Amino acid sequence: MYNELINSRLAMLRSAMKNEEIDYYLITTADYHNSEYVADYFKCREFFSGFSGSNGDLLVWDNGAALWTDGRYFLQAEEELEGTGIRLMKMGERGVPTVEAFLLENMLPGQRLGTDGRCIPISRGDRLADTVNKVNRKACADAENPTDSMLVWDVDLARKIWLERPLLPAEPIWFVDPALVGEDRQARIARVRGKIKEAGVDCLVLSSLDDIAWLFLMRGGDIAYNPVALSYAVVFENKVWLYLNRNCMTSDDAALLEAEGIILKPYEAIVDDLKKIKSFISVGGAVMADPERLSYALFMSLCEGTENIVLKTSPTVIMKAVKTEAEIENERHAHIKDGVAVTKFLYWLNCLREDPEFISGKRIVTEMDAADMLLSYRKEQDLFLEESFAPIIATGSHGAIIHYEADTKSNVPIEKDAFLLMDTGAQYMQGTTDITRTVVMGEASDEMKKHYTAVLCGNLELADAHFPEGTAGPNLDILARKALWKLDLDYRHGTGHGVGYLLNVHEGPQNINQKGRAGCLGTPFEHGMITSDEPGVYIPGQYGIRLENMMVCIGEGESEYGRFFGFETLTMVPFDRRSICAEDMSEYDRILLNKYHSLVYKNIAEYLTDDEREWLKAETDEI
């Protein structure tokens, strides 16, 4: 029945495309700020495809449709697309073209590609424009004079069809105490202005919501789990424009910002202001914009305002990633609180798996029940605000769906003698957490233990890395995978992502992955960068295992070869002792595990009940 609805929506979309003389229509998973997660207003791809994952592109044409998504969502997409006629394109798999390569192969000269340019960054818009121009060059005798671009970037066809579309979010805006981050707003603005001056430009246009939140110590609730507010900003040498819904802010906060020289403007005014930007900069002056963060539509408005545009990664990206000493210390406290909550929950699970009624099948506890229980333990912690992303509580074969999220349709009872994978996180006033633990709800088979232990060794060995300045994520990724590779196993996701401070749980620019971005080795680690460490293994139809800690990069010494760095693990939660095969671990890996478990007990034992503490002591005893 649901897929009949999807097919009906696709038919209406094709009709609207025909009226607009559009042959292919691309719907991305993004808002006007290229956010990873989007508010309901922007979930057009899900509306037209039924696929609910957080990443994917939907391409529709007169007699077909295809959806591109990454390895985290292959199983989920197969299930949700069934019966829609939408072809699943598994990104990164051999023989699977990119959206642009598919268009280049299938579009005919004279055909037009449509998309909402507010929902794609400059770099993507340029690639799409180049693709359709190449298609049209096929029909041009003179390659130096191609036909005009057949990219229609200013059309939102969803508004014609999605009649009950939700409103733009407008949640309250609040501000972080400068003492929590060790720096006030004016200091951050001054640092950004210094980078603007170094770049030789007159101003910086900011569109990324977490960059703006970081710069102004501003938080909101317009994106689920990410405490940000819909906003734009333009930073000049002597003034700052901040675009937002002023009704979401108290009059006292607005007055304070204005007293600091921050000019508040309506959210929508950014378009016209960029078209007139030349009036506000010096003669011959330039404007900096981030090609991965500013939308293609705003870029086109900016092009109307000035021809002098410098496309460069915003300086706020690296500034935000390198945490202050105050932020690092607060994160340590946040992870102790979170460690207490998660450890209490693991003790509850231990009691459940030993409960005779659970073993016999008389006591039913579902995935969503477990998620609610964990949330209740987190709510008991001081300064807890909310979860940092939708919890992944996956039993048995659901664990093999990398980003599975239980809902009323998929929710099932926790299985006996099966792995339970739990990837969850929280927002505290003292920082953002992200942790994954996998436990066996009974007895693990030899194969389950072998796989679990390989993932565990990868986690421990990555956390133990010691490396010279200039080292980036792709240089370190093998440490997390080599134990799995020895078993001819691997996983289709990155090993680590940056994490914000009371901000987005996924943050760049640093990451730990097999491949660097844009053909380079990636962003080198610096003291203060917080990153996840999360190897895994997924056996379709059986189980998934992922073990994730957060760690902060710290300086560890200097020699004639330069500075050296390492990682300090922030997460304080034990691993599942029942699932470990000590014989499969090297002596050094056992030393690493025992050292970590000793720290866990030392940091959180005092906050537990006597029974919980006794269980934790046994769970963290030396192996």
pLDDT range class, residue 136, cuts 50, 70, 90: confident
CA-closest candidate to residue 289, choices 208, 194, 197: 208
Sheet holding 232-236, edge to edge: 262-266, 240-244, 232-236, 203-206, 287-289, 309-311
Does the pLDDT at position 1 exceed 70?
no
Do the beta carbons of residue 571 and residue 603 sit within 8 Å? no
pLDDT of residue 146: 44
Does the pLDDT at position 530 exceed 50?
yes
**What integer is the mean pLDDT of 384-413?**
93
Domain ranges of the chain: 2-161, 174-314, 322-620
**What integer is the mean pLDDT of 232-239?**
96
pLDDT of residue 2: 61
Give the CATH superfamily of 2-161.
Answer: Creatinase/prolidase N-terminal domain (3.40.350.10)
Does the pLDDT at position 541 exceed 60?
yes
Q: Does domain 174-314 have CATH number 3.40.350.10?
A: yes
Same fold yes or no, 2-161 and 322-620: no
pLDDT range class, residue 394, cuts 50, 70, 90: very high
**What integer is the mean pLDDT of 546-552?**
98
pLDDT of residue 508: 87
Question: For residue range 554-567, what is the model confidence (pLDDT) as tens digits?
Answer: 999 999 999 999 99
**What integer is the mean pLDDT of 205-225?**
97
Give the Cα separation of 292 and 294 in Å (integer).
6
Burial of 229 (0-12, 13-18, 19+ CB in 10 A): buried
Helices (H), 385-471: 446-463
Does the pLDDT at position 3 exceed 90?
no
**What integer is the mean pLDDT of 229-238?**
97
Question: For residue range 369-378, what is the model confidence (pLDDT) as tens digits?
Answer: 999 999 999 9
Give the Cα separation of 376 and 476 in Å (integer).
36
Q: Does domain 322-620 have CATH number 3.90.230.10?
A: yes
Question: For residue range 114-125, what is the model confidence (pLDDT) as tens digits?
Answer: 999 999 999 999
C-alpha distances out from residue 354 to 50, 340, 357, 508, 515, Å: 39, 21, 9, 42, 43
Does the pLDDT at position 141 exceed 70?
no
**What integer is the mean pLDDT of 343-368?**
96
pLDDT range class, residue 553, cuts 50, 70, 90: very high
Residues in the chain, total: 623
User: Beta strands of 272-345 (E only): which ranges?
Assistant: 287-289, 309-311
pLDDT range class, residue 139, cuts 50, 70, 90: low
Does the pLDDT at position 273 exceed 60?
yes
| CA 320, 321, 322, 324 torsion-angle sign | positive
Question: For residue range 459-481, what is the model confidence (pLDDT) as tens digits?
Answer: 999 999 999 999 999 999 999 99
**What integer is the mean pLDDT of 206-234?**
97
**What integer is the mean pLDDT of 137-142?**
56
- Percent of the chain beyond pLDDT 70? 97
Phi, psi of 367 (to 5 degrees): -60, -45
Question: For residue range 25-47, what is the model confidence (pLDDT) as tens digits?
Answer: 999 999 999 998 899 999 999 99
pLDDT of residue 571: 98
C-alpha distances out from residue 567 to 150, 329, 333, 564, 571, Å: 49, 14, 17, 11, 12
- Token pair in block for residue 282: 């010096």
**What integer is the mean pLDDT of 399-425?**
94
pLDDT of residue 142: 44
Do the beta carbons of residue 484 and residue 517 sit within 8 Å? no
pLDDT of residue 357: 96
Does the pLDDT at position 72 exceed 80?
no
Do the beta carbons of residue 585 and residue 453 sit within 8 Å? yes
pLDDT of residue 148: 52
Whether the bond between 509 and the residue before it is cis, its omega within 30 degrees of 0, is yes
- Mean pLDDT in the chain? 94
Give me the amino acid identity at 250.
T
CA-closest candidate to residue 9, choices 49, 51, 40: 49
pLDDT range class, residue 404, cuts 50, 70, 90: confident
